[in-house]
Copies of this chain bind each other. A is one copy, B any other.
Amino acid sequence: YGLAETEDQVGVVTGLAWTSVGGELLSIEALRLPGKGRMKTTGKLGDVMKESIDAASSYVRSISPQIGVKPPKFETIDIHVHVPDGATPKDGPSAGLAMVTSIVSVLTQIPVRKDIAMTGEVSLRGNAMPIGGLKEKLLAALRGGIKTVLIPKDNEKDLSEIPDNVKEGLTIIPVSHVREVLKLALVRQPEPIEWDEAAEEAAAAARKATADAAVQHTAH
């Protein structure tokens, strides 16, 4: 049922899965490659998990200036998200927060804390949404050597059913938005940049003016 990572790594996030045989650590890996804005997913992922990666990706693109990434950057890279092992089917939306964290980490090249795990669906606005199987997931985290687990605020009410030894062995932090997740899971915080639509259009216009001038300078 998996172990915590042995070092802080860029793009590697520990999620928590809930299967018929109990909870399990899920090691989510993202990689950034030179490319053209494509997203590839592997690891025998079901449609709902693929859609949760789509949602995570769109959310990250929508906040990219806040994490220091200029939006046009996305058109020059591909992102590959893989969830080993490759032979085990995986599905469900509950890795959404982990997917966001993994994508932000590869984009910013900021490593993820190795002793943290997380579970939670993510909305297109970055809200943390409730998940099922909290008890099994927390047990798996404890067994796997995880220190801190992020759970959706809406699952806080389920903590009363969790055995005391589990709650004592883990720091359990309810979160309501991806913002809180990134603060806790990344080893340092990305620096926001200024970027708005007007800026983008001004930049485009400036490029165009330069090009036009170059062309018109050929007249004499």
A interface list, Cβ under 8 A from B: 9, 11-12, 27, 29-34, 40, 42-44, 47-48, 51-52, 54-55, 58-59, 61-62, 71-72, 74, 80, 82, 84-87, 92-93, 96, 121, 123-125, 129, 200, 212, 214-220
Contacts and interface: CB of A to CB of B under 8 A. Distances in A.
A42 B71 contact: no
Nearest to A40: B54
Given A82-B124, A217-B219, A220-B220, 13 more contacts: A29-B124, A31-B59, A33-B61, A34-B72, A40-B58, A42-B51, A43-B51, A44-B47, A54-B80, A84-B121, A86-B121, A87-B121, A214-B216
Do most interface residues of chain A lie in helix, strand or loop, or is the interface mixed?
A: mixed
Contact of A44 (B29, B48, B74): B48
A93 B82 contact: no
25 contacts: A29-B123, A31-B62, A33-B71, A34-B74, A42-B54, A43-B51, A44-B48, A44-B51, A51-B86, A52-B86, A54-B80, A55-B80, A58-B82, A84-B124, A85-B93, A85-B129, A86-B93, A86-B96, A87-B92, A87-B121, A214-B215, A215-B215, A217-B219, A218-B218, A220-B220
Given A52-B86, A85-B121, A80 B58 contact: yes
A112 to B, nearest CB: 13
Return the 6 tightest CB-CB contacts between A and B, nearest first.
A217-B219, A86-B93, A42-B51, A29-B124, A218-B218, A82-B124
A40 B78 CA distance: 18
